[in-house]
A and B are shown apart, each in its own frame.
Chain A
């Protein structure tokens, strides 16, 4: 396997290349070209990358001497990142933040996405860290894209500072892991950790703790979640949507790669740490979300709680757990994107559109958007037969199967609490009377409408047509655990 095998890396290379072209397209002469050129280039690139994902789908191939892996796991998650990037670019069609910076916007989203793809397909500790840095640096800039708005700058700065701390901690952990095992290749680390117990490897204990903490920063798991509400609130909402869906998926890709993929034998040792983060996230996220009055902050705390549910699947460390996490990442991406899409649309209509009050009666004014939001909220709360229910069912099921029923009960109790705030959004949208707005089914530009409706449909479709999706997720989980 000691060859370059560039073909296996094509999705990543296409995405990165497209990012460069999109950056350039923003500088082209001609107003129309500048306006729509970058987005068109980005979408074309994403479609090409999707095609390559479909072509490569199958058993594992390695590129760059094992530094990159193209297996079902990395390809499926790359699909999630790309879909998320595509929806973000569609939603940003008339984004004020991107008026003069369309090239930068599309380019940076794609750079970030390629960083995520690098994380998901990493076969090496270095690739993981590189990927995390690439995706973060692009996001630092994206958060501060609305340079004329103080909150946006604050958000970028906060994310930069806290993100760097998180990255430093992660790097420490990775270094210690290298020190303990003498290799940066994931397969070699896995081989040398096989069958060992932590009692005689204090370096590995420290490494695991630091890696878990560093990744928890990125996944916004409590108690490393402090940045999330402020950053989510301050960043342009399209960027927030991208962060909430894709970045979280990337962080969990790293979690699964390192913990479930490389150290399955040490699961009894690390599961306590991960379970503790999971419980803390479920508690903190759900309780804090109860008192929020802004949609973006509410969704930020909700995303912290959702990270907690996802960590349940990591903590159990089995194929079933990994399968559940991958499925839930798909479902979570769809439902979060749907919720943010409605917030984005509302923000462009009224000032202070991200407050919960701005949505009063909105469902009656724009029934289609109301339905999308209701689907998203009910699915996040875990109502059947929506994608969120199937996801929670799998996550709790994996916990019960691995004799960690208490974790499933914590998740169930957390879901009960979450109902209070998810249902409040639905109630505000549908149960308050119309405040004199004209009734319109949907009044937004075509691409934005397309992205919104697609996310809403995905929430239902992922559940009703769960069988093929679950097959893919199972394949991804098996690829993850293959030596």
Chain B
């Protein structure tokens, strides 16, 4: 069974099925059923895929391949490896929870809202599963459209400005990425004689340092904006603030992983020399992001902004883990992608719940909720501890992995990043103390913020996953080892790391013995695309 294709296409099908649902009052229930069934089905399929996944294999598994317009290199090519597996899982879980929460208290025009959420899910799942650069780009761009409408049509104050900024920022990076993708294929064709956009066929292509540097830079800008890396974060506060809280959850928990995923999946394996060239600059920006995000979060006036800026800091850690080119650090990065997704999804949901008692979202406008909302206080405490990476929490494992690896490679970056951990405690505890402890104050009675059945249904699975990862991180990390060893090996070679750290062989592409003479190379390189066109549709 084509598992991965089914997982990607099921939400798309769900979104299209909304076209058959009558408008709001009559079709409200039907729309909810459609959304729940497709989002739930996606999670079930993803869970089955996680069960079937071969944890020791390094390559792409369950790859599905179909032509689209193969004359020009467009094709449907999806699969799953140790990195994307957990991001698929994260997306499926978070999206199902968001759909459940939406169905519980539907916004106006629920049909369109749910359709957009499902489209976004298809876009993100496709992005994490794409094995072809063009398909990656298609999903990268296509998922902007549902988010654009979700923020623009259901968002709060300042949404018009926020959406425009969000889309333009992202597109600035991604259109250059499109040029970089095209350039990658044509440059690789000159080297290997094979015209392809498939990521696994591009791994190991012997680009010169200059080529690799420029191509990596073209991709890195798009990833850095999406991440967002300081100073490309200008779109983030506005979008997180203007979006409806459930959409903010999606942005922070799932979409923010697209950039780091790109670095790990495309940047490092395909352009190791370029990645090595830019590793320190990106690492420095990541550390600045950690410090900047933490400091701004500390002084943030509203709860949403606090969580938003803390997100910048956390993603800085993940980026730092990736550019360390260290197995342990990159495992920590993958683990932390999942952790951050789960924790931030819970954190924004709690902000949304507190907002019931304090609609203006200001931190200094509310306090003493513990008196009227004890259950919320408990859950919030757990989430806050997870967010500031308390030993014993899931984030602790991830950050520990990352910092161990970074300490080994770049001592001073790790030292600076540690300051961020201290600040995480400062801002999270500030938020917790001022809202939960002290005498009750605020516009509405604290009871307003007590957890209801819907909130528990949303938060409990997230907390359960936090505990699961905290107690049994190996379940997650183990499956990433083989993939990551291979993904970072080329970059480690390029960075001249000691041989005992490099755990996978780097196969040059084309293999050295198959390299034709300079004279033979030219006709072959030119003949390849013409031959590929009629030849390929046959299988």
Within 8 Å of chain A (Cβ to Cβ): is B69? yes
B:192-213 near A, CB below 8 Å: none
| A419 touching B182 in the complex, CB below 8 Å, given contacts A413-B175, A467-B70, A467-B71 | no
| Binary per-residue interface labels of chain B (146-170) against chain A in the complex, 1 for a CB within 8 Å, 0 otherwise | 0011001100000110011001100
User: How many residues does chain A have at the interface if contact means C-beta atoms less than 8 Å apart?
Assistant: 35
The 9 closest A-B pairs by CB, nearest first: A466-B69, A384-B138, A412-B175, A400-B182, A431-B152, A467-B69, A397-B182, A408-B179, A384-B141
A-B pairs with CB below 8 Å: how many? Answer: 91
- Output the nearest chain A residue to B176 by Cβ-Cβ distance: A412
| A416 touching B172 in the complex, CB below 8 Å, given contacts A384-B141, A389-B138 | yes
A393 lies within 8 A of B178 (CB):
yes
| Binary per-residue interface labels of chain A (416-427) against chain B in the complex, 1 for a CB within 8 Å, 0 otherwise | 100110011011
Partner of A430, one of B70, B71, B144, B153: B153
B152 lies within 8 A of A430 (CB):
yes
Task: Give the distance in Å from the alpha carbon of A383 to the alpha carbon of B68 in the complex.
Answer: 17
Task: Give the distance in Å from the alpha carbon of A416 to the alpha carbon of B160 in the complex.
Answer: 18
Within 8 Å of chain B (Cβ to Cβ): is A65? no
Task: Give the distance in Å from the alpha carbon of A89 to the alpha carbon of B171 in the complex.
Answer: 37
* 19 A-B pairs in the complex with CB atoms less than 8 angstroms apart: A383-B142, A384-B138, A384-B142, A385-B138, A390-B69, A400-B186, A401-B182, A405-B179, A412-B175, A412-B176, A415-B171, A423-B148, A426-B148, A427-B152, A430-B152, A431-B163, A467-B67, A467-B70, A470-B69
Task: Tell me which residues across on chain B come within 8 A of A426, comparing CB atoms.
Answer: 148
Within 8 Å of chain B (Cβ to Cβ): is A313? no
Partner of B167, one of A390, A397, A423: A423
Task: Tell me which residues across on chain B come within 8 A of A471, comparing CB atoms.
Answer: 71
Within 8 Å of chain A (Cβ to Cβ): is B467? no
- Output the nearest chain B residue to A428 by Cβ-Cβ distance: B160
Within 8 Å of chain B (Cβ to Cβ): is A396? yes
| A378 touching B186 in the complex, CB below 8 Å, given contacts A400-B179, A423-B164, A430-B153 | no
Task: Tell me which residues across on chain B come within 8 A of A397, comparing CB atoms.
Answer: 72, 182, 186
Within 8 Å of chain B (Cβ to Cβ): is A7? no
Task: Tell me which residues across on chain A come within 8 A of B176, comparing CB atoms.
Answer: 409, 412
A96 to chain B, nearest CB (A): 33
Task: Tell me which residues across on chain A come within 8 A of B411, comparing CB atoms.
Answer: none
B196 to chain A, nearest CB (A): 13
| Binary per-residue interface labels of chain B (66-92) against chain A in the complex, 1 for a CB within 8 Å, 0 otherwise | 011111101000000000000000000
Task: Give the distance in Å from the alpha carbon of A321 to the alpha carbon of B148 in the complex.
Answer: 33
Residues of B within 8 A of A (CB): 67-72, 74, 134, 137-138, 141-142, 144-145, 148-149, 152-153, 159-160, 163-164, 167-168, 171-172, 175-176, 178-179, 182-183, 186
B334 to chain A, nearest CB (A): 27
B46 to chain A, nearest CB (A): 23
Within 8 Å of chain B (Cβ to Cβ): is A382? yes
B163 lies within 8 A of A427 (CB):
yes
Task: Give the distance in Å from the alpha carbon of A390 to the alpha carbon of B178 in the complex.
Answer: 11
A427 lies within 8 A of B164 (CB):
yes
Task: Tell me which residues across on chain B come within 8 A of A400, comparing CB atoms.
Answer: 179, 182-183, 186
| A401 touching B71 in the complex, CB below 8 Å, given contacts A416-B168, A427-B160, A430-B153 | no
Within 8 Å of chain B (Cβ to Cβ): is A346? no
A393 lies within 8 A of B72 (CB):
yes
Task: Tell me which residues across on chain A come within 8 A of B72, comparing CB atoms.
Answer: 393-394, 397, 466, 470
Point out which of A390, A413, A431 has the most chain B C-beta atoms below 10 A from its C-beta: A431
B68 lies within 8 A of A466 (CB):
yes
- Output the nearest chain A residue to B533 by Cβ-Cβ distance: A474
B171 lies within 8 A of A419 (CB):
yes
Partner of A396, one of B68, B70, B171, B179: B179
Task: Tell me which residues across on chain A come within 8 A of B152, comparing CB atoms.
Answer: 427, 430-431
Task: Tell me which residues across on chain B come within 8 A of A385, comparing CB atoms.
Answer: 138, 142
B182 lies within 8 A of A408 (CB):
yes
A357 to chain B, nearest CB (A): 14
A383 lies within 8 A of B183 (CB):
no
| A419 touching B153 in the complex, CB below 8 Å, given contacts A400-B182, A467-B68 | no
Task: Tell me which residues across on chain A come within 8 A of B183, comparing CB atoms.
Answer: 400, 405
A383 lies within 8 A of B144 (CB):
yes
Task: Tell me which residues across on chain B come within 8 A of A424, comparing CB atoms.
Answer: 164
Task: Give the distance in Å from the alpha carbon of A431 to the alpha carbon of B242 in the complex.
Answer: 13
Task: Tell me which residues across on chain B come within 8 A of A382, comparing CB atoms.
Answer: 175
Q: A401-B182, A431-B159, A467-B71 are in contact. List 10 more A-B contacts (CB 8 A).
A: A383-B142, A384-B137, A393-B74, A396-B179, A400-B183, A401-B186, A413-B175, A423-B167, A424-B164, A470-B69
